[in-house]
Amino acid sequence: MRDLYDRLKRSFPLGELTEQKPDLAFVTVPREQLRPLLQHLRDQEGFTHLVLLTAVDWLEDATFQLTYLMNNRLACRDLGVRVMLPRDGASMDSIHDLWPTAATYQRELREMFGIDFPGSPRVDEDFILEGWIRTPPYRRDFDTLKFSDEVFAPRPGRESSDPAQFMKKQLYPDGT
């Protein structure tokens, strides 16, 4: 992975390389460099398969992290390309013309995180949820328990305990 990183580093302003495993690494790029980098990886470096496109909500930093995970089938290795986006009015360039499958991921991100991908096919249509009208549910400032209690009329008398606390009490009754 280090050789690939050094090669890429010559033409793209990359962040630090995070090596998770010998065949899996992550690298951060600025937003405007993402498209050229993905294109280069696909056409020159053999990363022909977009495994997934997903997001992480860093609420404390007011940032969304997009991860484009790419796979090189011949070399048997994966490279994750990360892009940091501001959380307010999050919007990203669509890559559906590089991989048609990206359109589906982008529709999902639009619905679940509220990240817009202008120009992506059918991005504004409902994907999984039907008629969702509140904050996108995967955003961390959306409180699912509060929402569920308000909307779904919970049955009185139910007790829920935090699994970690429950197991602690079970395993260490004297509190040590």
Q: How far apart are CA 51 and CA 101, in angstroms?
A: 9
Of the ranges 2-10, 76-84, 102-110, 139-147, which one interacts with another protein (CB under 8 A)?
Answer: 139-147
| Residues in contact with another protein, shown as a per-residue x/- string from 108 to 127 under the rule CB under 8 A | ------------------x-
- Residue 49: CB partners within 8 Å, gap ≥ 6? 70, 71, 72, 73
Strands (E), the chain: 17-21, 24-28, 49-58, 63-72, 77-86
In this structure, the dihedral spanned by the alpha carbons of residues 134, 116, 38 and 53, taken in order and rounded to 10 degrees, is 10
Contact with another protein (CB under 8 A): which of 62, 128, 166, 168?
128
- Does 62 interact with another protein (rule: CB under 8 A)? no
Interface segment toward another protein; rule CB under 8 A; list 21-29, 34-42, 74-82, 130-138: 130-138
Establish if 158 lies at the interface with another protein (CB under 8 A): yes
In sequence order, the β-bridge partners of residue 64 are 57, 85
Q: Is the Cβ of residue 47 or residue 127 nearer to another protein in the bound state?
A: 127
Among 76, 145, 164, 171, binds another protein (CB under 8 A): 145
Q: Which one, of 131, 98, 132, lies nearest residue 117 by Cα?
A: 98
Instruction: Pick the stretch among 8-16, 30-38, 50-58, 149-157 that binds another protein (CB under 8 A).
Output: 149-157
Does 144 bind another protein (CB under 8 A)? Our answer is: yes
Backbone angles phi, psi at 99, to 5 degrees: -130, 120
Stretch of 25-33, 60-68, 102-110, 147-155 lying at the interface with another protein (CB under 8 A): 147-155
**For residues 70 and 49, is the Cβ–Cβ distance under 8 A?**
yes
Residues that bind another protein (CB under 8 A): 126, 128-134, 137, 142, 144-145, 147-148, 150-155, 158, 160
